[in-house]
Chain A
Amino acid sequence: NAGVTQTPKFQVLKTGQSMTLQCAQDMNHEYMSWYRQDPGMGLRLIHYSVGAGITDQGEVPNGYNVSRSTTEDFPLRLLSAAPSQTSVYFCASRATTNEKLFFGSGTQLSVL
């Protein structure tokens, strides 16, 4: 089992560029989510999904899109990158509610 796999590990973008952060899990988890982590702010939920075809917004969804076409994959799209989106992004999954989260190793994103 690879668990939760995120790519890329590092990315530098220019303001206005778009990109997709990839997340895949091989544990057949229904629930997947994206968090961003900033110094002094902790982990904040961006978007989440409770199953294929179902997504919803978290605490800080603006500027990000998600889709869930399969159980395994949950990509996060930055539509037009802004310096405020410079952060470390974590994807996480769990089998269902009331269960522990499994996190990926993170993507460090810098927007110049």
Chain B
Amino acid sequence: SQKIEQNSEALNIQEGKTATLTCNYTNYSPAYLQWYRQDPGRGPVFLLLIRENEKEKRKERLKVTFDTTLKQSLFHITASQPADSATYLCALDPRGGGADGLTFGKGTHLIIQP
């Protein structure tokens, strides 16, 4: 069956360090992968999208990699700050551009400690 796996346990990182979150998937052939941030009591907010022919994407302190051979995406936050504390979700389009919506991982709760 299709599966998206993210670190189920909270990730504690010291302020200023790089936080790295992992998204692994099985039985998908996604055309692209997305990352969202979700704060308590709020809806997810889009961060980055990376396509299957892109190895890496950057936006300010954020970097995403996409390895379709390993079936894995890594999400990095450099120079992390307490304000980066949130739950981060990865999402796949299950059929590569299909209309039936994104499939989300369960999310990783990131805590940046001062």
Contacts and interface: CB of A to CB of B under 8 A. Distances in A.
A50 interface: yes
Interface residues of A, number: 26
Interface in B93-110: 93, 97-107
B80 interface: no
Interface stretch (A12-20, A40-48, A72-80): A40-48
Given A41-B106, A43-B89, A100-B34, A58 B101 contact: yes
Interface in B68-114: 89, 91, 93, 97-107
B99 A106 contact: no
Contact of A97 (B44, B89, B97, B105): B97
Chain A's interface: helix, strand, loop or mixed, by majority? strand
Interface residues of B, number: 25
Nearest to A43: B104
B104 A31 contact: no
A42 B43 contact: no
Contacts of B34: 100-101
B42 interface: yes
Contacts of A104: 43
Which of A4, A35, A90, A100 has most chain B Cβ within 10 Å? A100
A25 to B, nearest CB: 12
A71 interface: no
A43 B44 contact: yes
19 contacts: A4-B43, A33-B101, A40-B106, A43-B89, A44-B104, A45-B101, A56-B100, A58-B100, A58-B101, A90-B44, A97-B93, A97-B98, A98-B31, A101-B34, A101-B36, A101-B91, A101-B102, A102-B46, A103-B43
Interface of B: 31-32, 34, 36, 41-46, 49, 89, 91, 93, 97-107
Given A48-B99, A98-B32, A101-B44, 8 more contacts: A43-B44, A43-B89, A45-B103, A48-B101, A50-B99, A90-B43, A97-B98, A104-B43
